[in-house]
Amino acid sequence: MSTSQPSATATWRAFLLGLSPQRLSLSLGISGLMALVLSPIFVTPTPVVVGRTMVVGLLALLTFVLLEHWPRRLPAWLARWPLQVIGVALAVPLGTLAVYLVATGGNFAAFWNSEGRMVGYMTTAGSGLVLGPLAAMTALYRQRDAEARSQALAFELERSELERRALDARLRLLHAQIEPHFLFNTLANVRALVDGGSPKASAVLSSLIAYLRAAVPQLHDESSTLGQELSLAKAYLELMHLRMPDRLSFRFDVTPDAQAVRCPSMTVLTLVENAIRHGIDPSEEGGQIEIRGAIQGSGTARRCHVWVDDSGVGLRQGGAPGLGLANLRERLQLSLGAQAQLHLSERQPRGVQAELILPLS
């Protein structure tokens, strides 16, 4: 399998970036400190010793960075990091020798025959052979650690992106389930009027068409405001009131600030539908639906509370909550997290209260 190689321009750019201020400072700092420690044993002035040692340190750093990028392709059996460490180990004595030859004007004999220079060379090169490869291995470890952290962060970002996509897909699937659920429930109510020969069937059907014309575009929105939800619920209740004018009454009491709170679309309508289907419809005398809403609490504990109360037959006689509430709970959790909650409770003397708690974004 072929592996792509960076271009020559990219390699040179990476080489220059490898000579970072941090690496230069570290190389000069280690070599300068080593020179200050060794300077008492030299007859050469301390600034000269420091300068020579820093030059050796810079040559070692240059070798380390060169072998970081060249040769651009290595045999499969040869890793790059030992090549860099060996390169630094060779650069220290050779660099020290070059520095001493420059000091003697290129006269190798003068260097070789001078006991003081030989002692200085051996001391500088020996100390560099200990510290140079050690510093190189430390730099490689830090580099590998940074790469591992960067890779872990990239994996985490990729995992978060995949989770977000999965969440969006799940929300779209749940939202798609609402449309047939809502439409079939409403059409079933109209069919009951037609089957019963009710003279109101035509008026109800006209109201249904007008209602659907206004409501269907909202079905495609994944979120809406509580005010929009109330408008939709009111249109639905007016439609239901045409079907059973003597058995259903309703009222709204929601504060203006609560109406601006965002929530998943069809949230309130689902609760109203559930109240009609499992509370009012099974009751012989019908009942009332009351929708209230307000923002309560203070600071980080502020929440929007919405209550949908009905005076129907209650939880026991109305049967288990249907698919709509299970779908709503899941959409609340996926859209708003665990802070969004839905609770059902019995009312006295009869009926059910659905309490919806929405976090404030």
Least-confidence region, from 42-51, 174-183, 277-286? 174-183
Q: State percent of the chain over pLDDT 90.
A: 37
* Residue 248 confidence (pLDDT) above 90: yes
Least-confidence region, from 24-38, 271-285, 302-316, 318-332? 318-332
Domain boundaries, the chain: 8-170, 180-359
Q: Identify the helix (H) or strand (E) that includes residue 81.
A: helix 80-103
Among 267, 262, 186, 208, residue whose Cα is nearest residue 233: 267
Q: What is the pLDDT of residue 180?
A: 64
Fold adopted by 180-359:
Heat Shock Protein 90 (3.30.565)
Q: What's the chain's average pLDDT?
A: 85
d(CA 312, CA 350): 6
Residues 48-57 have a mean pLDDT of 92
Residues 257-266 have a mean pLDDT of 90
HSE value, Cβ hemisphere, 13 Å, CA-based, for 310: 27
d(CA 175, CA 178): 5
Which carries the bigger pLDDT value, residue 174 or residue 73? 73
Between the alpha carbon of residue 40 and those of residues 33, 104, 111, 123, the distances in Å are 13, 22, 21, 12
HSE value, Cβ hemisphere, 13 Å, CA-based, for 52: 30
Which carries the bigger pLDDT value, residue 194 or residue 172? 194
Q: At what angle do helices 115-195 and 46-69 cross, to 10 degrees?
A: 40
Q: What is the pLDDT of residue 2?
A: 47
Which carries the bigger pLDDT value, residue 62 or residue 231? 62
Q: How far out from the chain centre does Cα 125 lie?
A: 51
Q: What is the pLDDT of residue 322?
A: 66
* Residue 89 confidence (pLDDT) above 90: yes
Q: What is the pLDDT of residue 5?
A: 66
* Residue 128 confidence (pLDDT) above 60: yes
d(CA 345, CA 309): 10
Q: State percent of the chain over pLDDT 70.
A: 88
d(CA 144, CA 84): 14
* Residue 214 confidence (pLDDT) above 90: no
Residues 71-83 have a mean pLDDT of 88
Other C-beta atoms lying within 10 Å of the C-beta of residue 258: 21
- Pairing type for strands 262-264 and 352-359 reads unpaired
Q: What is the pLDDT of residue 218?
A: 65
Which carries the bigger pLDDT value, residue 128 or residue 218? 128
Q: Which range has highest mean pLDDT (96-100, 101-105, 226-230, 305-309)?
A: 305-309
Q: What is the pLDDT of residue 173?
A: 62
Residues 206-234 have a mean pLDDT of 76
User: pTM for this structure?
Assistant: 0.55
Which carries the bigger pLDDT value, residue 108 or residue 217? 108
Sign of the Cα pseudo-torsion (196, 198, 203, 207, in order): negative
